[in-house]
Structure 1
Amino acid sequence: MRLKRVLAIVLAAGMACASLTACGSKTAESSAADTSGATTAADTTKADDKKEGSGEKKVLSVTTWDYDSSPQFQAVVDAYMKENPNVEIKVIDTSADEYNNSLGISLSAAQPDPDIIWVKDMGSMLQMADKKQLLPLDDFMKKDSFDTSVYNGAAEQLQYNGVTYGLPYRSDWYVLYYNKDLFDAAGVAYPSNDMTWDEYNELAAKMTSGEGSSKVYGGHNHTWQALVTNWAVQDGKHTVVDKDYSFLKPWYESALSLQDNGYIQDYSTLKTANIHYSSVFKNQQCAMMPMGTWFISTMIQSRASDETSFNWGIARIPHPADTETGYTVGALTPLGISAYTDEPDLSWDFVKFATSKEAANILAEQGVFTGIQTEESLKTIASAQFFPEGESNIEALSYTHYSFDRPLDPQIEEIRKVLDEVHEMIMIKQYTVDQGIEELNKRVAEIKGW
């Protein structure tokens, strides 16, 4: 199947957000079986609705954002109802930028709607768990002998205080993008799917050429602190919430070395000029760039619209020297159940289905990367028009271990702000690496009360 429409349109709307951005502006609830008859959430989120299904149908309510423009939700809802004709699913649809606030208000009323919650970000999941607004899933999982190994460690990382409040639904993770035409012109072999970060640095040096406005950089680091700290937590031995941040030292030294040698653009220039990573890669100003899977859609759109014409590819993200290939870093969209649901068993049945291999293959047809990667789903996504040709590009989408860029910590947003501030000071050399680590240790300890 050649998905000519899917990854040019759907991925841009669904994956580029990567569970962090917002689109759309409406708030409504509707039956997934008849989205044309949408009414306001205030009119329809009543416990009585569950008794008003047609015939003997049971009714489940799910809360999502930007439902009409998000096939990653629609596809699995429609598939579940097709397999379960005795169930009607009502969708409480809210714009992405209003979603967490609207959901918080709804849950504070402790009403049975919604039954099922798509969690937009980890911070909100922790808040809901702390307020006991999410139903623990462990008893359901134990009863069904539920196998979490299909998520390659992601399900375990979603546990909070040893309790499972959600299962992986959608997923985005880091890969390495590269410009095939630049490599061909230089007569250099493409990046492999088993490359260490030291080898990446050597390749970046080899692929750097030119001067001034015509210079091509071997690599590119966007200004996010994640483009340094991610590789320090890639092996799963540390997280960005720690008592001692000395484990970051070699990674900052590596980033500064690349910058000082001119193999990547310097942080100050990128920050001051507000240069977006997509323009750097699209304008062929760099040969390689670590970035999330959501950027695949951007490049496919770019080729489809003739904005770009060069050939590009992807490889697995490079790995530390003492770590095997296949380790990556990313973020998840979990799916959970409201603690106030009056349909706990049916809600669990939906969650099981929506996070299953079957659903993964269904969602792959919509260009959606899920919490489970199967050979079938990866090949479906890779069959899209303008996706890079070659088996190595399909292999690049697979991973063996998945670490969160941000751990499940109730104070992660405060800590992230500190990480961002110290990252900037290190990269503009207002702090030495050692001074930055000392500052992180001090300020995070104050936040955590250590």
Structure 2
Amino acid sequence: MNRRFLAGVAGLTLLLGACSGGDSTDDGKDAAAGYDPAAAVTITWWTGQTEDAEKVAEGLAGEYMKAHPNVTIKTSTGASTTDDLLTKLSAGFTGGSYPDISYAYGSWAGELATSGKTQNLATYVSDPSFAWNEIPEAARLTATYDGKVIGVPALVDNLALIYNKALFDAAGVAYPTDQWSWDDFRAAAKKLTNPAQNVYGTAYSVSGGEDTTWHLWPLLWQKGGKILDGKKPAFNSDAGVEALELLRSMAVDDKSMYLDQTDEKYLPLFNDGHVGMVMSGPWALLELQEAGVEYGVAQLPGFNGDHQTVSGPDLWVLFDHKDANRAGASRDFIKWLTSKEIDAKWNLAIGNLPLRSTEQGTPEFAEYVKEYPGGQKFFDNLANARQARPTVAGYEEMSRNVGDAIAKVLQGAAKPKEALDEAAKKSAGVLEDS
């Protein structure tokens, strides 16, 4: 899953804004107006995938081209790593070398929406044949900026509580349930912690990146808080302070939380039996399976029965080259790729959750939940992803500010209220300008 988190995002907001080379406003014109489905056309697709997934993508592109011989799809990863795509896109906007379709982390959506280069798919996806409402709401919201739909979800996920059964058994602690409260979570983490054996009850990233930040959001929402109020920071409310205080009490007072300075160590430590519980997602299931860990999955611990989670959807963003046939062909291909039938050959084939609710009845989904124990739990947990991270141009910088605040608090260098207030102050200007 760490493929999702962008390292070193500071400055990319300015980079994209400075390099867009276009008007950031929507001119109201349909990029695909006049599209001729029979016209010969070539489109470029930056998949942003690893080597194995790239091969699957190329196979699917070939399948589409066989059925649509007038369409040529030039497929590539787009950059050496997915993290590099945003920088590559911003440079492409200046030189006119950007693709027709690109993979993008959902946290980039606000930046890309204000580039002046994206299509507006709002009318297109509202057609009943697209079945837009089969895709989880949090993913649909991530693709939407100020009423403009800039792409189609490429991947959906969520955070749940994954636990190591062997460590629970050794400590004589009952396994987590879907009804667990914050207090249950804290108490179990304390009992699981065994300094003599280098075992921690749970873990948290203090890298200061998005991995640090987005783990706080579900706790904030469970307390009734909001990330933003319009374009003003609201995460430093009483709800945000109380959510961060829970984490602080575990890290500083109980010392039951392993603090990962990189965000790359805590899952391997869980797999090796040194961490009892992690708030993680379906991307962890493959490594758990390979490591032979006997694990279970439960909903996130909740407050007063609210077990909201957070989803980190990624997108297929569609770009406008002022060519109706390129725009129309891009739309048709992505509609096909994200259909119930083809998504089962894509996301489920590479170990991701399905995009659409209707895929639960497919043979591919049955095989997925058989191969990845806990997959059904993560699929069901999508119903608890009732809110989305804000699609605003300043999200990346705000996330870095909040992540730094969380890191300070968990390492005992600041108190929750003062740290979140400082993050809100730093973020106010960039959000108002977005």
Q: Does 1:354 align with 2:337?
A: yes
**Cross-structure match for 1:330:** 311
Q: Does 1:185 align with 2:166?
A: no
Instruction: Give the TM-score taking structure 2 as reference length.
Output: 0.76
Deviation at 1:395, TM superposition (A): 2.5
**Cross-structure match for 1:39:** none
Q: Does 1:222 align with 2:211?
A: no
**Cross-structure match for 2:29:** none
**Superposed counterparts of 1:102-181, under 5 Å:** 102-110=88-96, 114-120=99-105, 122-123=107-108, 125-144=109-128, 146-153=130-137, 154-181=139-166
Residue type of the alignment partner of 1:338: F
Describe the shift of the 1:74–1:192 C-alpha distance in structure 2 as closer, same or farther (beyond 3 A).
farther
Contact kept, 8 Å, 1:19 with 1:121, in 2: the verdict is: no
Aligned length: 384
SS in 1 for 2:334: helix
Contact kept, 8 Å, 1:120 with 1:334, in 2: the verdict is: yes
Contact kept, 8 Å, 1:67 with 1:73, in 2: the verdict is: no
Cα RMSD, aligned residues only: 3.3
**Cross-structure match for 1:101:** 87
Deviation at 1:191, TM superposition (A): 1.8
Contact kept, 8 Å, 1:20 with 1:121, in 2: the verdict is: no
Describe the shift of the 1:194–1:83 C-alpha distance in structure 2 as closer, same or farther (beyond 3 A).
farther
Deviation at 1:109, TM superposition (A): 4.2
Q: Partners of 2:59 and 2:352 in 1: how far apart?
A: 10
Match of 1:294 among 283, 308, 314: 283
Describe the shift of the 1:319–1:83 C-alpha distance in structure 2 as closer, same or farther (beyond 3 A).
farther
Deviation at 1:277, TM superposition (A): 0.3
**Cross-structure match for 2:251:** 259
Q: Partners of 1:333 and 1:92 in 2: how far apart?
A: 17
Deviation at 1:281, TM superposition (A): 0.8
**Cross-structure match for 2:241:** 249
Deviation at 1:229, TM superposition (A): 3.8
Residue type of the alignment partner of 1:151: I
Contact kept, 8 Å, 2:111 with 2:392, in 1: the verdict is: no
Q: Partners of 1:67 and 1:229 in 2: how far apart?
A: 28
Deviation at 1:401, TM superposition (A): 3.9
Instruction: Give the TM-score taking structure 1 as reference length.
Output: 0.74
Q: Partners of 1:298 and 1:409 in 2: how far apart?
A: 33
**Cross-structure match for 1:315:** 298
Worse overlay, 417-426 or 141-150: 141-150
Match of 1:339 among 320, 339, 355: 320
**Cross-structure match for 1:369:** 353
Q: Does 1:208 align with 2:192?
A: yes
Question: Radius of gyration: which is bigger?
Answer: 1
Match of 1:394 among 376, 389, 409: 376
**Cross-structure match for 1:381:** 368
Q: Partners of 2:421 and 2:111 in 1: how far apart?
A: 29
SS in 1 for 2:352: coil
Q: Partners of 2:276 and 2:50 in 1: how far apart?
A: 37
Q: Does 1:77 align with 2:61?
A: yes
Residue type of the alignment partner of 1:319: G
Please list the CA deviations of residues 141-168 of structure 1 after superposition, one character each: whole Å capped at 9, or x if unmatched. 2445643221221213321011111111
Contact kept, 8 Å, 2:125 with 2:132, in 1: the verdict is: no
Deviation at 1:133, TM superposition (A): 0.5
Worse overlay, 251-260 or 399-408: 399-408
Deviation at 1:280, TM superposition (A): 2.5
Q: Partners of 2:92 and 2:330 in 1: how far apart?
A: 18
Q: Partners of 1:19 and 1:434 in 2: how far apart?
A: 26
Residue type of the alignment partner of 2:377: E
Q: Partners of 1:441 and 1:101 in 2: how far apart?
A: 26
For structure 1, which runs of at least 5 residues remain unmatched after alignment?
1-14, 23-54, 304-309
Describe the shift of the 1:236–1:397 C-alpha distance in structure 2 as closer, same or farther (beyond 3 A).
farther
Match of 2:181 among 169, 184, 196: 196
Please list the CA deviations of residues 292-348 of structure 1 after superposition, one character each: whole Å capped at 9, or x if unmatched. 322222222333xxxxxx41222233333242x5x3213122113221144222221
**Cross-structure match for 2:72:** 88
Q: Partners of 2:70 and 2:263 in 1: how far apart?
A: 53
Deviation at 1:195, TM superposition (A): 3.0
Q: Partners of 1:132 and 1:236 in 2: how far apart?
A: 35
Deviation at 1:117, TM superposition (A): 2.6
Q: Does 1:280 align with 2:265?
A: no
Describe the shift of the 1:85–1:263 C-alpha distance in structure 2 as closer, same or farther (beyond 3 A).
farther
Identity of aligned residues (%): 21
Describe the shift of the 1:75–1:170 C-alpha distance in structure 2 as closer, same or farther (beyond 3 A).
farther
